[in-house]
């Protein structure tokens, strides 16, 4: 996916707006991307396990929708504190989870999906991977790639971001 820039938790330190421009290890700074000209509709946050939990909160509590949220082997923790912003109802969500996950139980992922659907999320894709524990699989990565291709389609140089 040459048209996609991946910014990962292992990124090197860089200036972060919320830290007054100080260089700190950061895996995302949505406002800096927007200021650099990247439309919110082209920004996807995602993560595995705890990173997925952060992605739920980042993607669905803001009043400014982004292009998508991707969570792998994760769930919404502290559910009572989670406040779904109605403005994010159209944000695409990908949930990938193994039904044999021994750390982030499969039932918790189902509950998170239902919580978001009940709150008004309209575009939820949920994949179950039989006998998969708290890990990943080649099929999961294929599903992630296909979903990213849908929510972040390639754009021609003639098109605007």
The catalytic residue among 41, 123, 134, 143 is 134
Cβ-defined contacts of 9-16 (< 8 Å, 24+) = 9/47, 9/51
Annotated active-site residue in 73, 97, 101, 112: 101
Active site residue 118: no
Cβ-contact 109, 98 below 8 angstroms: no
Contacts of 116 (CB under 8 A, 6+ apart): 60, 76, 84, 93, 124
| Residues 6+ positions from 145 with CB-CB distance below 8 Å | 1
CB of 18 closer than 8 Å to CB of 7:
no
Check: CB of residue 44 under 8 Å from CB of residue 153: no
Q: Cβ(67)–Cβ(44) under 8 Å?
A: yes
The yes-or-no answer on residue 134 being catalytic is: yes
Q: Is 133 a catalytic residue?
A: no
The values of phi and psi at residue 41, to 5°, are -65, -10
Q: Which residues are catalytic?
A: 49, 101, 134
């Amino acid at each position: 996916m040459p048209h996609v820039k991946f910014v990962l938790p292992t990124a090197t330190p860089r200036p972060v707006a919320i830290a007054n421009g100080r260089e700190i290890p950061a895996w995302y700074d949505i406002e800096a991307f927007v200021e650099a000209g990247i439309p919110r509709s082209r920004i996807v946050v995602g993560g595995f396990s705890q990173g997925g939990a952060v992605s739920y909160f980042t993607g669905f509590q803001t009043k400014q929708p982004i292009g998508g949220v991707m969570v792998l082997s994760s769930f919404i923790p502290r559910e009572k504190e989670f406040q779904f912003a109605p403005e994010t109802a159209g944000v695409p969500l990908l949930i990938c989870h193994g039904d044999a996950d021994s750390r982030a139980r499969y039932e918790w992922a189902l509950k998170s999906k239902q919580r978001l659907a009940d709150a008004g999320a309209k575009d939820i894709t949920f994949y179950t991977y039989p006998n998969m524990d708290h890990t990943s699989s080649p099929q999961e990565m294929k599903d992630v790639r296909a979903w990213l291709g849908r929510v972040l389609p390639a754009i021609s140089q003639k098109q605007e971001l």
